[in-house]
A and B are shown apart, each in its own frame.
Chain A
Amino acid sequence: MTEVGTGVRQRCRMTRRAALGLFALPFASVRPVSAATKPPRIACLDDGLAETLLLLGVKPVAIADRKVWEDWVVEPALPPEVADIGTLLEPNLEFLEQLKPDLILSIPYLDGIKPLLERVAPVTTIGIYIENGQPYRNAVEATRKLAGLVGREAEGEALIEATETSLAKVRRELAPFAARPLYVVSFMDPRNVRVYGRMSMFQDVFDRIGIRNAWTAATNYWGFSTVGIDSLATADDARLAYLEPLPAGAGGTLTESPVWSAMPFVRDRSIMRLPPVLMFGALPSAARFARVLAETMTAHG
């Protein structure tokens, strides 16, 4: 009885928080912005930090590589006025300088160019994929830090809550599926996949939604391992979810390979296609991953 009660209460709160957090973006544009609280002009080089900013209701003035966003991040949609300053590895400094940002958000991966960026504007480096291998916890910290930077602490806490709540909701929805482990992979070509495991955001989401990762072997610093499909044959009862976008040609040939067709998850049709989710994202990507997984798994049955 009490359990149901808390459940309902939680659901109510979740809706409110979700409206604040996950749907902050549409409201952000209507909210009157006074000169005093005007958010700083931020150039954001990392897509995970940028998606967090957008959900805090702050539009970055520029990001690196809009194409990557459109293909991998997908939502929240990137407002058209956000400038594209070139590739992640070499954001165009002349361009950046002319945009006159107050702040540049960077990640440890780009420490090599930090001295250059600092000549344009102060640089804040926020690492989510770092040594400790706990991207979800780091993303929570990153959200707090970002919220502090733009003076939207309340929105930050709301986003963290909303993410927690939506993961908790997914956990309940996926409870019937928790018994079987799950592989999450991206196809590199018809024979090889990148399989996500320890130290990845997907693993942290799994832990929070009560799903067991079928890939328990070693992963690299970024939380994945590149292996041939045949390496996925060890778990007998595993399901497999593969992420879009697929490389050219991986769709058609898959079904022809006898190894592929003999895979336990292919044989019992426990194979699911997920829409793109940024694998190196922050809380919004984590929430999106949980949500698309829940939608796909419940639809799949």
Chain B
Amino acid sequence: MSLTKDAGHLFRFAFLFVVAFVVFLLVRHFVVPKSFGEYGHYRGAAIGEIAARPLHYAGHETCETCHADIAEAKKAGKHENVSCEACHGPLAKHANDPSIQPVKINTTVLCIRCHAESAAKPGGFPQIDPVQHSGGVPCETCHQPHNGL
């Protein structure tokens, strides 16, 4: 068969393609992560890994297990629905190990973040001009944040 003979070099080229393709399939078999495609076109194990990231905010339910007295006091005030860490900051470490104490809050900074007067804020939300209102005297001198008035 002279056709196969004269086209022989083409078969050699095609053979290289086949070899490359087989090698590709082999490598692919070993390289693709095992959980890939478990739920869709992605690595299924990634979901668990993302769910395993560490917490920084313990959540007010956790706080209330130890600080039930404060939780009770808060129920009477306007800050009832403000959760603990919204003011006290992330305290998962403290919940983990109560010997790690949270930093003391500077009320002159904290309170005005919400309560500084601005026409951009919704009407009805209690707002004050910090300078006129207290002239720099710390808020807790008059106000009790936990049973807020």
* A and B are interacting partners: no
